[in-house]
Amino acid sequence: MNFPIQDTVGAWVPHGRFVVDGRSSGPLAGLRFAAKDVFHVAGHPTAAGNPDWLSSHPVPTANAAVIDRLLGAGATLVGKVLTDELAYSLHGDNAHFGTPINTRYPDRVPGGSSSGSAAAVGAHLVDFALGTDTGGSTRVPASYGGLWGLRTTHGLVSAEGLVPLHPSFDTVTWLAHEADTFERVGRVLLPASAWAPRRLLVPQDAWDLADPLFAEPLARVRDALAAQLGVGAQATRWSGDSTLDAWRQVYATAGAFDGWQTHGDWITQHQPVFGDAIAARWAAASRVSEADATQARAQWAHIRAQVRDLLGPDGVAVLPSAASLAPRRDASAADVDAVRLRTMAITCIAGLAGLPQVSLPIDTADGEVVGISLMGPPGSDLELIRLATRLHPMVQTPHHAERC
């Protein structure tokens, strides 16, 4: 079968142009999806964004569990798309395979590490695409490209057949350009939930980290959700006596140690060539001591309990999905890193707490689009998606409606 995609955005990897047909019937019949090149597909190599990984690992003989779930539901897999190397970035560039085009903002990066997934969905070349989210790798590209995306409750969707980054934080995710498609996939991959939100929370310290253009869309979502739930919003500093940047450092230390335990032997043995930013992260990961990791894990456990206690069984939080619009493709390394650190101070909240977070594409009054997120308690994923898709039409501006 000829490959049916005209890749206008540079999303597909060279070894990823193939088709695997799904069942002829099922809840996802008629939909096409791409898979981030960290998911194994039987008979097709996995590169995880790096040619040295590609050359040093055998071709998989079985599909990742989530691939089988989607094929069994009737969706057709149309190949594999780019990822940042070993998924260790939020930017979306790849020193070996290039930088996919962000159709919404062609002069800006697509965001990573699910860069190819976001680019393919943003260009409407597929209906949805599989990604992963460890420190923000789906929520951030969703925000940068005006897409639907999420982080699932840690461990809720099987990671079997996935090349890990930080197994203690990795989650299986997807992006879509239509709310209906996004929810259809959720109904296949997620268990039912009885969650019903009765409290609305505003983590003010997360709001304060985002650029000013997020302020009005955040308030619009907060107010519409408050009206829908019939409650008032409770604003508080979630980090308490600490800071979200300190939380980010906890995540960075615990995650780096986790990643080095996972990949350190391979990196040491094969000496892979990484792009500069990725190489620096792995070098730093190699220097995280057991003592540092132990301290970070203790802080992580405290943060996890604190956030879960704040949400309780019936809370929903509104927060930005990223700190800014996507960086320009020609931005300096210093500017990129400054944005990354600020964004990760926001995205680390759900990562450290192991919680689901759904990013909605929300327009601004001047025609930009940003990701605004809803976060819920563990296991609330499917109802969180349904809440988001019901809310979305209520929070788009008349300007957006006219453009549509």
Q: Which of 36, 117, 359, 373 is catalytic?
A: 36
> How many CB atoms are closer than 10 A to CB 55?
11
User: Closest Cα to residue 161, out of 28, 256, 46?
Assistant: 46
Annotated active-site residue 80? The verdict is: no
Q: Residue 307 has which token pair?
A: 């956030």
Q: What are phi and psi of 77, to 5 degrees?
A: -85, 125
Residues whose CB falls within 8 Å of the CB of residue 378, separated by 6 or more in sequence, listed in order: 153, 156, 308, 354, 355, 356
Q: Which of 80, 89, 113, 143 is catalytic?
A: 113
Find out whether 36 and 81 touch, Cβ atoms under 8 Å. yes
> How many CB atoms are closer than 10 A to CB 180?
11
β-pairing verdict for 199-203 and 315-320? parallel
Q: Is 136 left (phi over 0), alpha (psi -120 to 50) or beta?
A: left
Q: Which of 114, 115, 117, 137 is catalytic?
A: 137
DSSP 127: S
Residues whose CB falls within 8 Å of the CB of residue 29, separated by 6 or more in sequence, listed in order: 22, 23, 73, 74, 75
d(CA 266, CA 4): 36
Annotated active-site residue 286? The verdict is: no
Q: Which residues are catalytically annotated?
A: 36, 113, 137
